Amino acid sequence: RRSTNPPINLLIHPSLIPDLVPDLGKAFYPHYCLAHSHIIQRYCRCLRWDCFTKLKYVCVHVTAYSDEYFRMKLQWKSVSEEQERRNSRLRDFRSLIEKDVNRTDRTNRFYEGLNNPGLTLLHDILMTYCMYDFDLGYVQGMSDLLSPILYVMENEVDAFWCFVSFMDQMHQNFEEQMQGMKTQLIQLSTLLRLLDLTFWNYLESQESGYLYFCFRWLLIRFKRELSFQDVLRLWEVMWTGLPCQNFQLLICCSILDSEKQKIMEENFGFNEILKHINELSMKLNIEEILQKAEGLFLQIRSCKDLPHSISSILGFNTEHQRSDPTNAGSLAVSQRTQLQNICSNGLCREDRSQNSCRHAFKS
């Protein structure tokens, strides 16, 4: 069973960021500082601080968190070899962690070289997480989620609790039934069918309609598709919760928009599609992807007859929009202006030939 959480240990200190963060008296989960570092960065820039290297100055460390972490760390470090021989799960966790740590971001200066202290911290945090949540333990891919957090925080305890909060969001992705992944792939298919029925039908005809080739994207949030700095950029955007929930699904649609022409024109089958998507790793332009994804969000939100399933996936408050027609009208005008700018290079278009919310990519 999971360990009971100690008191929240990261607060945004009011004296450090006046008038920039709402409800400063509240305690926030550890990933708040990362998720809202774009706000912190505005203030740090005024002081000529580098946001990430000075992030620790806006965090108040609470001793209870540190004590709880080191208690759990001591649990696995104090297990003798004889005890471990009788504990197959702990032995398997340790073996898998050691293999994954040795191949996680080794080209990054924070983790490169032999006997790198960054690798030791990565290993220790993952082992301690096994004590925190022994039912889940360690699953391949979790080292990819921890690595950027440790890189940014540069502190073992803070990185651990940030990772715990991140894993609270990602937990279902790594469970044995992988319900989180199944749900996201179904939702992604639903979105893609709305946005581009022709492309969706093509994928269906090639036995790729379940979009399994997007599995790695969603499992570890594009960690292996982008450069390390681009991952930091993308995660920071996604952790804001803006512009909508499940924004990672629109990121997927944005990438598929760029690749659908090649896939369809060259008549790729199941294996060719999988191979092509895997080969996109480190070739993606994060700014173009984000711009397209935002354009898709704006266009979907402006739809008058949006299916309830789409509203639910993206978290739109459709009832509020209908109750305020004046605001909805002004919003639509603003959105059209933004869409003309964003979609001018061939992002997407509304299929006006049908009086519905069917959207299509435009190559």
pLDDT of residue 113: 85
Per-run averaged pLDDT (10 residues), the chain, 363 residues: 40 40 35 44 45 46 78 94 92 95 93 90 97 95 96 93 94 93 96 95 93 96 96 93 94 96 95 96 96 95 90 75 44 42 39 43 41
- Give the CA distances from residue 113 to residues 53, 116, 229, in Å, rounded to whole numbers and listed in that order: 22, 6, 20
User: What is the value of pTM for the model shown?
Assistant: 0.74
- pLDDT of amino acid 171: 94
How far apart CA 46 and CA 106 sit, in angstroms, is: 34
Asked whether 14 and 24 are in contact (CB, 8 A), the reply is yes
Q: Domain boundaries in the chain?
A: 38-173, 179-319
Which positions ≥6 away from 281 have C-beta within 8 Å?
Answer: 224, 225
Query: Which class for 223: exposed (0-12), middle (13-18), buried (19 or more C-beta within 10 A)?
Result: buried
189: which residues sit within 8 A by CB, 6+ positions away? 200, 209, 210, 211
Q: Using one digit for the tens of pLDDT, what is the confidence trace for 284-296? A: 999 999 999 999 9
**Token digits of residue 83:** 């005890």
Q: Which residues make Cβ contacts (< 8 Å) with residue 338, sequence separation at least 6?
A: 295, 298
For the chain, how are helix, strand and coil distributed in percent, rounded to 5?
A: 60, 5, 35
DSSP state at residue 214:
G
> What would the pLDDT profile of 79-125 be if each residue is shown by its tens digit?
999 999 999 999 999 999 999 999 999 999 999 888 889 999 999 99
Q: What is the pLDDT of residue 108?
A: 94
Q: Dihedrals φ, ψ of 208, to 5°? A: -120, 15
Q: Which of 304, 316, 318, 315 is nearest to 358 (CA)?
A: 304
Which pLDDT value is given to residue 64?
76
Q: What is the pLDDT of residue 146?
A: 97
Q: Do domains 38-173 and 179-319 have the same CATH topology?
A: no
Q: Give the per-residue pLDDT at 55.
A: 47
Q: Quick one: fold of 38-173?
A: Helicase, Ruva Protein; domain 3 (1.10.8)
CATH for the 179-319 domain, from 3.40.50.10490, 1.10.10.10, 1.10.472.80, 1.10.10.60: 1.10.472.80
pLDDT at 115: 84
151 vs 142: CA distance, rounded Å: 15
Residues 49, 42 contacting (CB under 8 angstroms) = no
What are the angstrom distances between the C-alpha of 107 and each of 43, 102, 111, 154, 280?
31, 11, 7, 17, 19
